[in-house]
Chain A
């Protein structure tokens, strides 16, 4: 369906582009927001990315998914906007939480939706830029490892390893933040 819409847009039906905007704006915004950390920059990046995609649609060869192409532009734009080559690594104890996962999940599920959102946001904010980007792309954006490779340029093996570590860090951070709730449950 996307191919047909792209053909229509290239034939001059620009209004058809609204399909792509509606479908991908939220995820593009998620990615931009997680990198920049503020709403104005994220919105601007998403808007510019969509315009760039529209202007270069003719060169889109369908080698990858439309979303992969768009997210790649968003990631690059957001990274250059923040101009943070490497964010200071916040040391997170990668303790073996094998037994603690369940406690964290139980404590977390006892929270209401707003609290869950708050804690996830807080934990994500404390992660290294690359970690939160990978978690966003994989778990929220539902991109495959290969697609994430196309978007970020990181090798697939590295992505798997980094995702695994990011997940552990996320659990550790949630454990720290939900300490009170975890202890109540334990």
Chain B
């Protein structure tokens, strides 16, 4: 078992009766009840976060559309790279809405969209 003792197995065997058992049948049930409650709370928190992220995304897109509106006639001029990035960001927003995307990524997606719009406005 180890290199520093010569009689480890015998000692281990001797210690064995010192092993205690948690003799409370209600312990596991009570604990699992608390875990299930915590789990349910976690699901609710996650939904609230998802809906908040989704609502935030929708509001942002509305604002973005309003900002882009004046330059809509020049939209075909948007480069393919910008178009793809925009699609990627929208996809990220979708993921955020499903609650599978951390907030930090959501904000980075929003930041990129903001930058894209900014650059379009500057071009216009």
A26 within 8 A of B: yes
Which chain A residues (38-54) contact chain B, with CB distance < 8 Å?
43, 46-47, 50-51, 54
- CB < 8 Å: which of B14, B36, B38 contacts A120? B14
Q: A21-B28, A21-B32, A164-B4 are in contact. Are A117 and B17 (CB under 8 A)?
A: yes
Contact B7 A101 (CB under 8 A): yes
Interface of A, helix, strand, loop or mixed by DSSP: helix
> Nearest Cβ in chain B — how far from A37, in angstroms?
12
Which chain A residues (6-51) contact chain B, with CB distance < 8 Å?
12, 14-15, 17-18, 21-22, 25-26, 29-30, 33, 43, 46-47, 50-51
**Within 8 Å CB of A55, what residues of B?**
38
- Chain A: interface size category: 35 or more
A70 within 8 A of B: no
A160 within 8 A of B: yes
Q: How would residues 116 to 132 of chain A score, 1 for a CB under 8 Å from any chain B CB and 0 otherwise? A: 11001100100000000
Residues of B within 8 A of A (CB): 2, 4-5, 7, 10-12, 14-22, 24, 27-28, 30-32, 34-36, 38-40, 42-43
Contact B34 A139 (CB under 8 A): no
**Within 8 Å CB of A2, what residues of B?**
none
A113 within 8 A of B: yes
Complex CA gap A145/B42 in Å reads 36
A185 within 8 A of B: no
Contact A124 B18 (CB under 8 A): yes
Contact B18 A117 (CB under 8 A): yes
Contact B35 A17 (CB under 8 A): yes
A108 within 8 A of B: yes
